[in-house]
Structure 1
Amino acid sequence: MQDEDETRRVVLGWREWVSLPELGIDAIRAKVDTGARSSALHVDSMELFDRDGSDWVRFSIHPGDECPEVTAQAPVIDRRRVTDSGGHATVRVFIATTLALAGRRHRIEINLTNRRNMLFPMLLGRTALEGAFIVDASQSFTSHQPGPPDGALK
Structure 2
Amino acid sequence: DDFAKTLRNLADPAQYPTAVVVGFAPFFARQFEWRFNRKIPHSRPIALNVKDTWYPSRPHEVLVATAIDAKAIALLQRFEEANTESFLNAEGQPMHFVYWERDLGYMTPKADLVRYRAVVMLPYDFAHFKLPEFVAMGMPIFMHKQLWKWTVRWSQLIAKPAGKNVS
Task: Please give the range of the TM-score, normalised by the shorter of the 2 chains.
Answer: under 0.3
Task: Report the TM-score when normalising by structure 1.
Answer: 0.27
Structure number with the bigger relative contact order (C-alpha 8 A, sep ≥ 6) is 1
Greater Cα radius of gyration, structure 1 or 2: 2
Please identify which structure carries the higher helix content. 2
